[in-house]
Structure 1
């Protein structure tokens, strides 16, 4: 299982032959630093007033596309867990232009910076030479978008994705892997689902890491309140 500080991210048992490497240590360090900075500078007064209905409409349009029907169940599961829809949009923004625009608008209302300004786009995500510069840049922006969205409401998002204080629901890993697979296929690159999962798990671990402690604390405190009630 793939773990982060004792946190199980819902990764199937490892051992899949030919699996690609995870994020490079340099990439992990840079995204972790960026995430920590986002958490530090988050300001409550700058939270968006955008109605969630608008975001939901984008998701429903995406779900009603027959070409994306295989993603319907996974997105529906996250919606059923009350995962904030803006984070779902951030995940699928890698392959859906309307979702990308919605996330960009959301972030524009909250911060003066966009994904391009947070992390160096030329940073190599992996040590592999199979990812070309343009693909690498698009993935860096995507990872940064997910982290920027998460930084605005980390406890609200992560507590919905966590089954308990040590386990992440595997649905988010599956959805993110399918999105990454679709992205690579659109660029004429071979992308088997099982072989992409280690990379996806590494990406999600890096996105979540700066905010796990506060989310875990919120879950434990909620549990204590229920016991005392």
Structure 2
């Protein structure tokens, strides 16, 4: 399996030409869900207990030799100060402790679990290649990441953005390896090159609705930094 992935990736461009992508219905459903989440977004309720649980889950994951190939990618996101709860949301597809911690985080912030919001009739792809159980698990995973992102979109996206359009490629690479491992666990192996376009489509559904506000925040942040540098009192 190749470990190649782009250094950066645009969630608004998707994965053109990929052999598998989300159905239009799935894209529309996730976009609508994201819009609703932004309307009801609450201020994040941070707590020492939750922070400790997140740290514990990350440490437990990194201590599991079965996931060794993911360590470098997790470390790269940690180095970018990506909130650990979003890293756990990515890992939750294959790691029980991460799933438990994310569900507790969502409950603590007044949200529903992803499993309770999944539409059982939603088909993730147009080809129908995914069986019902796999389709359900992946839809729940997308929903879970979207729920976590909706609680603090700017805080998460600004840590991942390398410019106004692109995210650090490590997030796509990590998610692709997670999906690959999920398929292996369910006896559905496929090469990295085929899994990555599908994963890019899923992440596009997660990130795209929140990119405009993140881009605006980034521009404001850059403008403030420019004003600070130009102010002679700050030189």
**TM-score computed with the length of structure 1 as normaliser:** 0.90
Q: CA deviation at 1:119?
A: 3.5
Aligned residues: 220
Contact 2:50 2:105 in 1 (8 A): no
Report whether the alignment pairs 1:47 with 2:66. no
Contact 1:122 1:133 in 2 (8 A): no
Which residue number in structure 2 is paired with residue 181 of structure 1?
Answer: 180
Gaps of 5+ in 2: 1-5, 229-235
Which residue number in structure 1 is paired with residue 148 of structure 2?
Answer: 149
Which residue number in structure 2 is paired with residue 194 of structure 1?
Answer: 193
Gaps of 5+ in 1: none
The 2-side partners of 1:72 and 1:97 are apart by 17
Residues 77, 99 of structure 1: CA spacing in aligned structure 2 closer, same or farther, 3 A cutoff? Answer: same
Contact 1:87 1:157 in 2 (8 A): yes
Contact 1:31 1:119 in 2 (8 A): no
Larger radius of gyration: 2
Contact 1:74 1:171 in 2 (8 A): yes
Residues 96, 34 of structure 1: CA spacing in aligned structure 2 closer, same or farther, 3 A cutoff? Answer: same
Contact 2:161 2:167 in 1 (8 A): yes
The 2-side partners of 1:76 and 1:27 are apart by 31
**Corresponding residue SS for 2:162:** strand
The 1-side partners of 2:85 and 2:106 are apart by 10
Which residue number in structure 1 is paired with residue 129 of structure 2?
Answer: 130
Contact 1:48 1:109 in 2 (8 A): no
Q: CA deviation at 1:156?
A: 0.2
